[in-house]
Amino acid sequence: MSNWNVLWKFGGILLLAYVIVVGFGTPLQPGLVEASPDRLVPGPVTLELHAVGQPFADEVGSTDGHRLILRSGTDLIDTRLIEVAPHRVQAEVTIPEQMPSPALDAFLFTPATGTLFLGNAFFVEGAGSGPVADEFKAKAPDERSPDLGFSFPYQPNIMESIRNLLWHVPMWFAMFFVMGIGFVASLMQLRTDRIEWDHRGEAAVRTGLVFGLLGLATGSLWARWTWGAWWVSDPQLNGALVTVLLYTGYLILRAAMSDDERVGRLSAVYNVFAFVMLVILLMVLPRYTESLHPGKDGNPGFNSYDLDNSLRAVFYPAVIGWGALCYWMYTLRLRMNRAEHRLLTK
């Protein structure tokens, strides 16, 4: 292998090693996930809130610097913290007889990790509608800028599974990349009728399918964690499955014929059609429909809500790393096709 070949191949592997180490090694920012009891009635009550991610306190002990405030409508209700643990707080509060809204949001102010929020944390039954009496009202503490270090953002529902972004999305990008190579190869095949382009098209589709199946598997795993089901009837998910099945059809079509020239031309036509369908099913149709999948409904890509700088520092290397691995696999398959053809035609 030439120096350049060694560089990009093993550079890609090193990038993926970096992605694995940093992707699994970086802590998640803290976030509130659970409140109990979820139903409250007016009067004194003890509340408990649970969090995931980085702990917001070192150990069970002092409540200094921590505050828990509840919000009903625009009114704030004060509480008294009785215990602060690394991932849990307990507080006493007297629920007022009347409040603007029966739904209470929780704000936990911490010195180390800033403000944690849980919307609709509690629901009050039996309280009248109206402003909160002054004796229960709280004044919000000043906002602090916590130093969380290098950490991944906390997103409700997604939580620790946000690390899958470094696998699932770059795998689809890699599939797009190599299927694009296959598309160009098929167009060239139709134009020139040279077997070399057929080899390239076949190698691209075969490699792209591996990454498509990996993308489906990682997506299904992610869906199970965040949406509660291995598969949901969503335009993006169904489009991805249809695309993979279409490309599987390409391989079946090739296997069904023995005449090399016919195989080359027919599969090139099919591949052009499959790539157009890939673009329509994965990039066009889902944007016209409501979808659970992020980046849809008029929003074509990632934005500041999906990615922050710490995620970008791992996500972009992941895209390059998976792309390099995919391209390496493609070149190997292409060389196998060439070697096989050379042996058979000698």
Partner 1 sequence: MNCIMFHILFLSSLEGFFFGSGKAHVVTGVALTILAGIALSLWRMDRRLTRIESESNDTP
Q: According to the binding rule CB under 8 A, does residue 170 interact with partner 1?
A: no
- Out of 7, 133, 280, 336, which residue is the one contacting partner 1 (CB under 8 A)? 336
Work out how close the CB of 111 gets to partner 1 at its nearest, in angstroms, rounded to a whole number.
Answer: 12
Q: Which stretch binds partner 1 (CB under 8 A): 53-61, 132-140, 225-233, 277-285?
A: 53-61
CA atoms in the 13 A half-sphere facing the CB of 15 = 22
Residues 13-42 that bind partner 1 (CB under 8 A): 13, 16-18, 20-22, 24-28
Contacting residues for 133 by C-beta, under 8 A, at least 6 apart: 96, 97, 98
Span 129-148, contacts to partner 1 by CB under 8 A: 148
User: Which of 8, 42, 48, 52 is close enough to bind partner 1 by CB under 8 A?
Assistant: 52
CB of 130 to partner 1, least distance (A): 40
Residue 217 touching partner 1 (CB under 8 A): no
Among 91, 179, 325, 326, binds partner 1 (CB under 8 A): 325
Of the residues 72, 79, 113, 291, which one makes contact with partner 1 according to CB under 8 A? 113
Q: Establish if 276 lies at the interface with partner 1 (CB under 8 A).
A: no
Nearer of residues 11 and 119 to partner 1, judged by Cβ: 11
- According to the binding rule CB under 8 A, does residue 332 interact with partner 1? yes
Asked if residue 312 binds partner 1 (CB under 8 A), the reply is no
Q: Return the C-alpha torsion angle 307, 310, 316, 318, nearest 10.
A: -110
Tokens of 113: 């990790």
Task: Give the span between the Cα atoms of 36 and 50, in whole angstroms.
Answer: 9
Nearer to partner 1 by Cβ, of 163 and 254: the residue is: 163
Dihedral sign computed on CA atoms, order 142, 143, 144, 146? positive
Binds partner 1 (CB under 8 A): choice among 35, 47, 49, 54: 54
Site for partner 1 contains 341 (CB under 8 A): no
Sole binder of partner 1 in the list 255, 256, 343, 344 (CB under 8 A): 343
Q: Which is nearer to partner 1, 13 or 76 (CB)?
A: 13
Q: Return phi, psi of residue 108, to 5°.
A: -110, 115
**64 vs 259, which CB is nearer to partner 1?**
64
- Judged by CB under 8 A, does residue 10 bind partner 1? yes
Binding-site size, partner 1 (CB under 8 A)? 39
State the minimum distance, in angstroms, from the CB of residue 305 to partner 1.
Answer: 22
Residue 243 near partner 1 by CB under 8 A: no
Considering only residues 288-307, where is the footprint of partner 1 by CB under 8 A? none
Task: Examine residue 114 and tell whether it contacts partner 1 (CB under 8 A).
Answer: no
Q: Which residues bind partner 1 (CB under 8 A)?
A: 1, 9-10, 13, 16-18, 20-22, 24-28, 52-55, 58, 87, 112-113, 148-151, 160, 325, 328-329, 332, 335-336, 338-339, 342-343, 346
